[in-house]
Amino acid sequence: MSRLWNLTEFGFHADRVNHYETLFTVGNGYLGTRGSFEEGHPDSIAATLVNGVYDHADGMLVPELANFPNWIPFAITVDGTPFKVVTSTTDLMKPPEGVIFGYERTLDLKEGILRRAVLFRAASGNVVRVIFERFASLSDVHVMAQRVIITAVDGAPEIAIRAGVHGNSMNATALHWNDDVQVISTDEEIGIGATTRQSGYSMGVAARLTGPHPATASATGLILDLETRFSLEQEQTVTFDKLVGIFSSRDTDENPLDAARAKALRASEIGYDALRAAHVAEWAKYWDTADIVIEGDDECQLAIRFTTYHVLIASPRHDENVSVPAKTLSGFGYKGHVFWDTELFTLPLTTLTHPSIARNLLMYRYHRLEGARHKAKANGYEGAMYPWESTDTGEETTPQWSDVQPDGSRIRIWTGDNEQHISTDITYAIQQYWRFTGDDDFYTRYGAEIVLDTAVFWGSRAEEKNGRYELSQQIGPDEYHENIDNSVFVNRMVVWHLSTALNALSWLRAHAPADAARLTSQLDLTEARLAKWQDIIQRMYIPFDAEKGIHVQFPGFFDMEFIPVPKYQPRVTSVQAILSHARSIQTQVIKQADVVMLMALLGESVGAPGGADVKTVMRNNWDTYFPRCDHGSSLSPAMHAWVAARLGLLDEAYDQFHHAAHIDLADNKGNVRDGIHAAACGGVWQAVVFGFAGLHIADNGALALDARLPAHWRQISFSVNYRGEIKRFTVTNPR
């Protein structure tokens, strides 16, 4: 059913140019190319981002992914009129600027191909149909391919084309590339090579054009094109293919431009059709396990394929030294940095459906243990303390200050200092990966070291005071409340973390004694240290209100002003923005699932101090925190959906799920122009699998479900790779 796989834009939406550029990104885990027009557009933000190629430009607070040469330009003139999207004219028969009669753009999620068809009349009156197609090959990630089909629908026009690789926008956001750019411009090929200024990565992009008419090269600065002109008879069709190679010094020992040239040559020998067939076949393998089929809700069916697509194109397949940027490779938002969004939101999808990808992502963290150890040391702690924002180096790359505000001030950003739960989030992802894959090799060689060394950090971080252990100056998931003492999320997760670490060490001692010995020695896991962990587990302060039977987000939370968040509807703005930052931080408005997130991660094992009934407490927590949450973060709704489903609150669960699934499609945060919300995309998958389907590993070690589906969902199907075996699940709604 292609209609449930195709995201289509009918008609051109001038006010949505940047939104759709993001939605229509193509990618392959190695790179992402935004869905910009081949002919350009005044509002366009074109970008090709290659994962891992960060650069810290002069004058910027932090490094960012450097924009690559634009490989999609394909200009067409029809009888001298430049082809472009012009929607109205003074003269329909002889439109001075040309005019389009129709426009349709479709991202085929199943095949990972972006297509656009436009019917265009030139000033001459002649009418052509142009069909554009592009993909970033999933079967060879260094290949990008573009096809342009021009048909003379009415009249016999003179056509000129220019198929280019344009380097003029490479330094548009900041000065990342050195001036000594290598340029190749012959009638057979065009290419650009360059090196980043600070980080010293080099890259190369090269293109070849195939078609019925020989081309000649033209170069103006970094604007390189292959040009040709020809006449079309009425109803005649021509097809041109531009085949592009791309490399960076991160992934080849050769000169990247040479590698790119060789790849473009090889791609042109293979040809577009064969490249596309291989690409489509590769996509089929990924969808085989990653697809979730929802019967009874077409809208959410398409939406979840869209969100899964974006997780899949952002997840590296062949590289242990990159992760998933918070805005994927689809925009400049968050500068390509990596947050907890990966480990707790996007990574579980790959852990359960394509564990080799998840392993890469976890290895990214393993290879950056040194950065985490630097951070711990610099902050006066032991062990490994992961940075809140991470890039290639593994060092903390959270900016300390915001951009300049309208009143000239800058706001201090505390997350790099105090949002320390990231280390536990990574440990959570490692444990989840290990439990679902049974990958003892990974765990003993790499994973356990992270689990234990981050536990070492927490052991040194916990503060023994007031007759218990506390954690001051933390930021939990609810970032509206910064630098608070005793976040119940953080404190409880640290208890979980230390317990997990102790269990990990016991397991290693029993099953991998050499690794246990190595880590004990290397990480200085003395008996005294382990005893302290045990003591922290026993005596950590878990804020709880026994009278109300709720976990307390942090002591003092309920002393602040109450805001009736549900009355702030309808809105696309956060309640924080409505109240102002200064006021909202002194209110009970919560940015995102915090206590609710804790319940998602730990389920009933979250526990209830003092013998309270945990089910009752969980429901009380929901009733308390859900109406205080403004979902100012895109991470929030999916977690709420998951927990509401577990609590049997299916209407709320569905509302939250629908919201989460449409954050990018509906742009209901208003910032999709900056890139896809990766965490929301991954959260949507988890809301279905862990939330509605209730997937879990039962006590007997088998996968089990505890499904509670929204009333109108007839059936859902999904797959899980459980310890190397593909398990297929279909849940039919008894209602």
Which burial class, exposed, middle or buried, applies to 75 when counting CB atoms under 10 A from its CB (0-12, 13-18, 19+)?
Answer: middle
**Distance between CA atoms of 707 and 722, rounded to whole angstroms?**
18
- Tokens representing 194 are 């360059």
List the one residue from 564, 609, 648, 701 that touches a copy of itself (CB under 8 A).
564
**Which one-letter amino acid corresponds to residue 352?**
L
What are the φ/ψ torsions at residue 599 (nearest 5 degrees)?
Answer: -70, -35
List the one residue from 531, 577, 698, 704 that touches a copy of itself (CB under 8 A).
577
List the one residue from 518, 712, 723, 727 that touches a copy of itself (CB under 8 A).
712
- Tokens representing 172 are 């548009």
By CB under 8 A, the residues from 62 to 101 that bind a copy of itself are 92-93, 101
What are the φ/ψ torsions at residue 408 (nearest 5 degrees)?
Answer: 95, -15
What are the φ/ψ torsions at residue 117 (nearest 5 degrees)?
Answer: -125, 135
Rg (CA), the chain: 27
How far does Cα 189 stand from its chain's mean position?
A: 33
Minimum CB distance to a copy of itself, residue 473 (Å): 29
- Going by the DSSP 8-state scheme, the letter that residue 398 receives in this structure is -
Question: What does each C-alpha distance from 348 to 72, 280, 345, 584, 614 come to in angstroms?
Answer: 33, 24, 7, 32, 26
How far does Cα 360 stand from its chain's mean position?
A: 15
**Distance between CA atoms of 713 and 732, rounded to whole angstroms?**
8
By CB under 8 A, the residues from 312 to 371 that bind a copy of itself are none
Minimum CB distance to a copy of itself, residue 276 (Å): 22
Q: Which is nearer to a copy of itself, 117 or 602 (CB)?
A: 117
SS3 of residue 145 by DSSP = strand
Q: Is 407 in the site for a copy of itself (CB under 8 A)?
A: no
**Distance between CA atoms of 626 and 566, rounded to whole angstroms?**
9
Contact in structure between 464 and 392 (CB atoms under 8 Å)? no
SS3 per-residue string spanning 277-336:
HHHHHHHHHHHHHHCCEEECCHHHHHHHHHHHHHHHHHCCCCCCCCCCCCCCCCCCHHHH
- Going by the DSSP 8-state scheme, the letter that residue 465 receives in this structure is E
Minimum CB distance to a copy of itself, residue 662 (Å): 9
List the one residue from 160, 172, 238, 578 that touches a copy of itself (CB under 8 A).
578
- Tokens representing 132 are 């554009």
Q: Which of 196, 3, 194, 159 is nearest to 77 (CA)?
A: 159
Minimum CB distance to a copy of itself, residue 649 (Å): 17
Q: Which is nearer to a copy of itself, 154 or 440 (CB)?
A: 154
Q: Which is nearer to a copy of itself, 269 or 298 (CB)?
A: 298
Minimum CB distance to a copy of itself, residue 119 (Å): 5
**Distance between CA atoms of 403 and 471, rounded to whole angstroms?**
30
List the one residue from 173, 393, 499, 668 that touches a copy of itself (CB under 8 A).
668
What are the φ/ψ torsions at residue 450 (nearest 5 degrees)?
Answer: -70, -45
By CB under 8 A, the residues from 105 to 144 that bind a copy of itself are 117-119, 121, 127, 129
List the one residue from 229, 465, 571, 615 that touches a copy of itself (CB under 8 A).
571
List the one residue from 80, 96, 102, 556 that touches a copy of itself (CB under 8 A).
102
Residue 466 region by backbone torsions, left for phi larger than 0, else alpha for psi between -120 and 50, else beta: left
Q: Which is nearer to a copy of itself, 564 or 609 (CB)?
A: 564
Minimum CB distance to a copy of itself, residue 730 (Å): 16
By CB under 8 A, the residues from 2 to 41 that bind a copy of itself are 3, 10-11, 15
Minimum CB distance to a copy of itself, residue 580 (Å): 6
List the one residue from 403, 580, 610, 699 that touches a copy of itself (CB under 8 A).
580
Q: Which is nearer to a copy of itself, 88 or 700 (CB)?
A: 88
Q: Which of 398, 275, 271 is nearest to 337 (CA)?
A: 398
Minimum CB distance to a copy of itself, residue 285 (Å): 25
Binding segment (CB under 8 A) for a copy of itself, from list 73-81, 149-157, 254-262, 614-622? 149-157
Minimum CB distance to a copy of itself, residue 646 (Å): 23
- Taking residue 635's Cβ as centre, other Cβ atoms within 10 Å add up to 27
By CB under 8 A, the residues from 282 to 301 that bind a copy of itself are 297-299
**Distance between CA atoms of 5 and 301, rounded to whole angstroms?**
8
- Tokens representing 147 are 């096809």
Say how many residues touch a copy of itself, by CB under 8 A.
41
Q: Which is nearer to a copy of itself, 157 or 193 (CB)?
A: 157
Q: Which is nearer to a copy of itself, 157 or 476 (CB)?
A: 157
Q: Is 104 in the site for a copy of itself (CB under 8 A)?
A: yes
Q: Which is nearer to a copy of itself, 349 or 644 (CB)?
A: 644
Q: Is 401 in the site for a copy of itself (CB under 8 A)?
A: no
Q: Which is nearer to a copy of itself, 318 or 571 (CB)?
A: 571
Q: Which is nearer to a copy of itself, 16 or 317 (CB)?
A: 16
Minimum CB distance to a copy of itself, residue 237 (Å): 9
Q: Is 560 in the site for a copy of itself (CB under 8 A)?
A: no
Q: Which is nearer to a copy of itself, 410 or 571 (CB)?
A: 571
Cα-Cα-Cα-Cα torsion 79, 81, 82, 86, nearest 10 degrees, comes to -130
Q: Which is nearer to a copy of itself, 303 or 429 (CB)?
A: 303
Q: Is 547 in the site for a copy of itself (CB under 8 A)?
A: no
List the one residue from 179, 220, 567, 734 that touches a copy of itself (CB under 8 A).
567
Minimum CB distance to a copy of itself, residue 296 (Å): 8
Binding string, residues 441-470; x marks residues near a copy of itself by CB under 8 A:
------------------------------
What are the φ/ψ torsions at residue 696 (nearest 5 degrees)?
Answer: -160, 165
Binding segment (CB under 8 A) for a copy of itself, from list 193-201, 322-330, 559-567, 694-702? 559-567
Nearest-10 crossing angle of helices 678-686, 636-646 = 10
By CB under 8 A, the residues from 232 to 261 that bind a copy of itself are 235
SS3 per-residue string spanning 41-105:
CCCCCCCEEEEEEEECCCCCCCCEEEECCECCCEEEEECCEECCCCCCCCCCCCCCCCEEEEEEE
List the one residue from 97, 154, 188, 652 that touches a copy of itself (CB under 8 A).
154
Q: Is residue 158 among the annotated active site residues?
A: no
**Distance between CA atoms of 336 and 315, rounded to whole angstroms?**
13
Catalytic residue among 479, 482, 547, 561: 479
Q: Which is nearer to a copy of itself, 117 or 265 (CB)?
A: 117
Minimum CB distance to a copy of itself, residue 100 (Å): 9
Minimum CB distance to a copy of itself, residue 149 (Å): 12
Please, which residues have CB within 8 angstroms of residue 700's CB and are 6 or more apart in sequence?
Answer: none
List contacts with a copy of itself (CB under 8 A): 1, 3, 10-11, 15, 92-93, 101-104, 117-119, 121, 127, 129, 151, 153-154, 235, 297-299, 563-564, 567-573, 577-580, 666, 668, 711-712
Residues designated as active site? 479
